[in-house]
Amino acid sequence: MARLANLETEYPVLDSTVRNFCASHGIFSVEDFLIHDLYMLAAFAEQNDSSEGLKEGIAQVLSIIDDMHQPWLNGMELLEDAKRNKHVFPTGIQGIDLLLGDGTIIFWNHLVLYLDTGNSFSPQRIAYFLGKTINPSSAQAKNQFLQKVMSNISCHSVFDMFAMFDVLHQLESYLRCQDGRGGCQMRLLIVDSISSLISPVLGSSSTQGRALMTSAGYLLKKLAHQHNLAVLIINHTVGGEGGYSKPALGDSWKCIPHSRLFLSCDRGSNNYNVSILRHPSMGSLLTVLLKKALALQVSSVNTYISRSAEASQKKLRR
């Protein structure tokens, strides 16, 4: 956490008098307040000639600490927040929507931020998918619709963790200013892919990489929760035991996303498999089998839903 000496510019009440008083009690940072007896500190402040200024400084630091954690909420408050503010986006593919739990349809009048870490963003591909999901009455209507959707997508190229943090902090400031205002709001953040940023800084002999990964996960979850964003994070796969693929970011990352889907391809049958690795309300054995057509045309996907249960499998076909 920040040192008190670095906070005076933003909080003038934390002047040299307050800092010297705190230093005399072994307090040099906001973190030091968390392990100090605040009642004793307030009592010492009362005995000082500058007691009013000191009490204002102590109150300011406590306010900073309060802003750093989420407020306590009971079950009913959480339920109301989920009903009022939390949204689930349809993917356009019914089988995957079933895996994710489906939800309220948020149509095209929202902003999307796409963080591209490998120059993989393709506007032509997006235009192709949009063309398959709408049936406009004329070519002009189709072009107007396409322009509206594409103008709501903002793509930023980021090639290292610090560039991503930069963009995310700018996004946080922007969203904080936009909250409560009308107009077009951001509802989707895509990071494609986060593993290509984190993998280079992960090392067995250093904890810095894992600390950066944890900080990135915390910031993404904070944005999702506080500003009601849907956050889609791409994590590539690597070879695992027995020749099977596994997520590149392993155990340290798996607890960060709310839901994790594992996509794989059976080259023998040309089927794509989508399995749940983690979900807050669904079992991890649910799998969707998507025909090869997924890569070619969304509307012609044949989807098979299969649930694994002990010795038998039940299939639900769309």
- Kindly report the three-state secondary structure assignment for every residue of the chain: CCEHHHCCCCCCCCCHHHHHHHHCCCCCEHHHHHCCCHHHHHHHHHCCCCHHHHHHHHHHHHHHHHHCCCCCCCHHHHHHHHHHHCCCCCCCCHHHHHHHCCCCCCCCCCEEEEEECCCCCCHHHHHHHHHHHCCCCCHHHHHHHHHHHHHCEEEEECCCHHHHHHHHHHHHHHHHHHCCCCCCCEEEEEEECCHHHHHHHCECCECHHHHHHHHHHHHHHHHHHHHCCEEEECCCEEECHHHCEEECCCHHHHCCCCCEEEEEEECCCCEEEEEEEECCCCCCCEEEEEEHHHHCCHHHCCEEEEEEECCEEEEEEC
Residue 108: what pLDDT? 57
Residue 116: what pLDDT? 93
Residue 105: what pLDDT? 41
- In tens, the pLDDT along 279-308 reads 666 655 555 555 443 433 333 333 232 333
Domain 83-317: assigned CATH number: 3.40.50.300
Residue 167: what pLDDT? 92
Residue 168: what pLDDT? 92
pTM, two decimals, is 0.63
Residue 1: what pLDDT? 54
Residue 94: what pLDDT? 64
Residue 204: what pLDDT? 55
Residues lower than pLDDT 50 in the chain: 102-107, 291-318
Residue 186: what pLDDT? 83
